[in-house]
Amino acid sequence: MPVNLSAPDPADLHPVAGLRIGTAMAGIRKANRRDLVVFLPDEGAAVAGVFTKNRFCAAPVQLCREHLSGVTAGRGIRALVVNTGNANAGTGADGLARARRTCDALAGHLGVAAQQVLPFSTGVIMETLPVERIEAGLPAALADAAAPAPADGARWAEAAQGIMTTDTLPKAASTQVQIGGRTVTVTGISKGAGMIKPDMATMLGYMATDAVITQSALEHLVTEAADASFNRITIDGDTSTNDSFVLMATQAAGHAPITSLDSEDGRILRQAVIQMAQRLAQAIVRDGEGATKFITVRVEGGRTKAECRQAAYAIAHSPLVKTAFFASDPNLGRILAAVGYAGIDDLDQGLIDLFLDDVHVVREGGRHPDYREEHGQRVMKQSEITVRVDLHRGPTHATVWTCDLSHDYVSINADYRS
């Protein structure tokens, strides 16, 4: 059961001018479900992405990097194609050939070069991609994209369903801001519920805006947004082979071009994109496999952001910490142990404070004299919890979002392929 998360209402999602979206049921792994999605940005759109640092990255990730590296003013990205049900990872040269075949097929329908298509896959690793089913499903997805677009964000909502794997709910977010006297839209979707510990991306995330922004500024923006959102979540500490986060800017809003994120317009767009990325990232954690609690881990008082992040992830990754949260058991020494093995070599344990929401649990490295276990248990029973650790060694901080680890997580992953 997702933690305080509901399916998106299409009425709350704004279409993005200059982008068409289509979905289809291609039967890639299961029948009678949306499992193929195409995004078709108009000519002249800027597209940028960040991807997994897993060295065993999937074939589509390899092709996306290759195709994005070849983007020029005269040959931009014209299509994204996403399949669920099969990750096309751990498939060697054959997997790469099948990913290329997917790009060739969509490019042929659109009359563009195969290098102008970005392919994405998610699902089971080390199984052959049924590319012939994708090829057969593309006409239906393109026909859906060509049909008159609804006034609301129904296409986005359908796309959010079309990229799901073990997700229990689709995930989408949308907002509008004013830039240069024009209304600018930012809308996105994400998927993921397990194998979540991104490194410069998430499982799959797609965001579009009609803002007018240069390619170089967009590339900076997608990296900043990922770092502030998808790089701050973990469910199980496993970095996927297929992590991808793509930001598209269709240039349709009509305001003066944004060339720097430090300009007034750039700051407005940056804030909107990051806020939407954080909503999408947190939705992944709220829908974590078997999750019953949404947990914010904030480590402050560090000398560097890196060491704060180290400590935060040590807490968020710990199976002992996560199972204690599932059981509502205030066995909070587990949190101190995680901070201690986080890798901060000169950490002074005598300075550390630990808070559980409003409860001061540890002061100067030892149990606070006023702390009682029933105070900790009161907080642990909540569906949303904040863990705050103060290292008292510097001015920086970092925040990570995670969930608990339940019996259902084991069951879901034990039965994933059945």
Residues catalogued as catalytic? 202
- List CB contacts of 55: < 8 A, sequence separation 6 or more: none
Tokens representing 327? 């059981």
CA-CA distance, 382 to 295, in Å (whole number)? 10
Q: H-type helices in 167-231, by residue range? A: 215-228
Residue 230 falls in which region: left (phi positive, over 0), alpha (psi -120 to 50) or beta: alpha
Listed residue (227, 233, 229, 226) closest to 286, CA to CA: 233
Q: Which residues of 318-357 are buried (b: 16+ CB within 10 A; e: fewer)?
A: beebbbbbbebebebebbbebbeebebeebeeeebbbbbb
DSSP string for 282-334: HHHHHT-TT---EEEEEEEEESSHHHHHHHHHHHHH-HHHHHHHHTT---THH
Residue 343 Cα to chain centre, angstroms: 26
CA-CA distance, 131 to 285, in Å (whole number)? 31
Residues forming a β-bridge with 50: 245
- List CB contacts of 259: < 8 A, sequence separation 6 or more: 213, 214, 216, 217, 266
CA-CA distance, 333 to 352, in Å (whole number)? 13
Tokens representing 364? 């100067």
- List CB contacts of 153: < 8 A, sequence separation 6 or more: 8, 10, 11, 12, 13, 14, 15, 172, 174, 187
CA-CA distance, 308 to 298, in Å (whole number)? 8
SS3 content of the chain, % helix, strand, coil (to 5): 35, 25, 40
Pseudo-torsion of CA 405, 408, 411, 416, nearest 10°?
Answer: -90
